[in-house]
């Protein structure tokens, strides 16, 4: 297909960071993304970076700077996040994966390494299952296989019912204050180091600038997702675990390593967003893996 891209000024300004970006028509919506060509000799496979829930492509700024010497780096705002509209399609993990595959096709990229954090990792897994000929390597950071797969998380979600509570909370408290209260609750339930300072800032900004409909749709997509058959993931896969992530996410990371045919893991110091919590080490691990993913088998 022919790439159909417009500058951000034509597509509408970003609501999150104001950073100029490209916006590419992927069908029912125009998807905002950065597309950084290699700044050095290049030669490495292109790299797609996928952010977590209620965040934006801005979380990857440190990785773009570190990896663009050898790689073309593509960093989108997922559907409903940042400068990418929600559209009218029901938001699901599968829908977001298809969005990213169409974006790659529009950009003329037929082989790519994909790194995702949290929700972005779930999208990356779905991409690899759908298009094994396209995804050459996976890096899954702080990635649950499925929130519905954990009985403890399922019970908590059923008890709190965020889809029911969020709209009234937004009306009464405002979105930014709702985010701060949610983070305080998470610190009590999971631990004080689960969300680091930089991740907290990005999370509150995402919560404050996303539409309420997009936030609720994103959480619904997470809750409704079902565990993927990991036998479908044939490419080399690096699972990045962190010491202060939630227990259920760490357990599911171990499940991915045990069940995906070519998966290995590394454990870093940090909380739920490793690329923000421990960027120097994360960048080194990511660069080493995508340079020679077969070496990690």
pLDDT at 156: 57
Q: Is the pLDDT of residue 159 over 80?
A: no
Query: Residue 14: what pLDDT?
Result: 36
Residue 153 has pLDDT above 70, yes or no: no
Tokens representing residue 195 in the block: 């969300």
d(CA 31, CA 23): 5
CA angle 40, 108, 32 (to 5 degrees): 85
Model confidence at 3, pLDDT cuts 50, 70, 90, reads very low
Going from the C-alpha of 3 to that of each of 12, 31, 102, 114, the distances in angstroms are 19, 12, 10, 20
Strand pairing class (47-50; 73-76): parallel
The pLDDT score that the predictor gives to residue 207 is 87
Q: Does the pLDDT at position 4 exceed 70?
A: no
Please give, one letter per residue, the 3-state secondary structure of 166-209. Answer: HHHHHHHHCHHHHHHHHHHHHHHHCCCCCCCHHHHHHHHHHHHH
pLDDT of residue 173: 81
Mean of all residue pLDDT scores within the chain: 87
pLDDT at 71: 94
Residues 6+ apart with CB under 8 A from 146: 122, 225, 226, 227, 228, 252
pLDDT > 70 in the chain, percent: 86
pLDDT at 7 over 70: no
Q: What is the pLDDT of residue 15?
A: 37
Count of Cβ atoms closer than 10 Å to residue 20 Cβ: 11
Q: What is the predicted pLDDT for the residue at 276?
A: 97
Per-residue model confidence as pLDDT tens digits over 182-238: 888 888 878 888 889 999 999 999 888 899 999 999 988 998 888 899 999 999 999
The answer to whether 238 and 293 are in contact (CB under 8 A) is yes
For the question of whether the overall pTM of this predicted structure is more than 0.75, the answer is yes
Separation CA 41–CA 158 (nearest Å): 52
> Three-class SS string for 97-166?
HHHHHHHHHHCCCCCEEEEEECHHHHHHHHHHHHCCCCEEEEEEECCCCCHHHCHHHHHHHHHHCHHHHH
When comparing pLDDT for 21 and 152, which is higher? 21
Residue 241 phi/psi, 5-degree rounding, is: -105, 155
Of 130-134, 188-192, 281-285, give the lowest mean pLDDT range. 188-192
* Residue 133: count of CB within 10 angstroms of its CB: 8
Q: What is the pLDDT of residue 175?
A: 83
Q: Among 8-12, 137-141, 191-195, 221-225, which stretch is predicted with the lowest mean pLDDT?
A: 8-12
Nearest to 23 by CA among 89, 84, 113, 95: 84
pLDDT-derived band at 9, boundaries 50, 70, 90: very low
The answer to whether residue 167 scores a pLDDT higher than 90 is no
Q: Is the pLDDT of residue 42 over 80?
A: no
For residue 176, what pLDDT band results from cuts at 50, 70 and 90? Answer: confident
Q: What is the pLDDT of residue 107?
A: 97
pLDDT > 60? residue 10: no
């Amino acid at each position: 297909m022919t790439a159909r891209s417009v500058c951000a000024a034509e597509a509408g300004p970003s609501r999150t960071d104001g950073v100029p970006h490209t916006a590419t028509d992927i069908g029912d919506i125009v998807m905002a993304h950065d597309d950084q060509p290699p700044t050095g000799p290049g030669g490495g496979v292109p790299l797609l970076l996928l952010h977590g829930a209620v965040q934006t492509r801005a979380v990857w700024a440190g990785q773009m700077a570190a990896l663009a010497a050898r790689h073309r780096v593509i960093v989108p705002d997922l559907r409903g996040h940042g400068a990418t509209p929600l559209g009218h399609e029901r938001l699901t993990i599968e829908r977001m994966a298809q969005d990213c595959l169409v974006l790659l096709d529009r950009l003329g990229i037929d082989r790519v390494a994909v790194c995702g954090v949290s929700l972005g990792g779930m999208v990356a897994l779905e991409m690899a299952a759908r298009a094994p000929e396209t995804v050459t390597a996976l890096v899954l950071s702080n990635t649950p296989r499925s929130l519905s797969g954990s009985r403890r998380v399922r019970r908590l979600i059923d008890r709190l019912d965020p889809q029911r509570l969020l709209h009234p909370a937004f009306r009464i408290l405002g979105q930014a204050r709702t985010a701060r209260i949610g983070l305080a609750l998470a610190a009590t339930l999971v631990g004080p180091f689960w969300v680091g300072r930089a991740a907290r800032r990005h999370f509150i900004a995402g919560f404050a600038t996303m539409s309420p409909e997009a936030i609720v749709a994103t959480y619904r997509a997470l809750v409704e997702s079902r565990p993927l058959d990991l036998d479908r993931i044939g490419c080399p896969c690096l699972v990045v675990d962190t010491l202060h992530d939630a227990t259920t996410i760490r357990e599911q990371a171990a499940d991915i390593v045990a069940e995906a045919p070519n998966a290995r893991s590394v454990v870093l110091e940090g909380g739920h967003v490793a690329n923000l919590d421990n960027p120097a080490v994360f960048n080194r691990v990511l660069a080493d893996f995508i340079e020679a993913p077969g070496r990690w088998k």
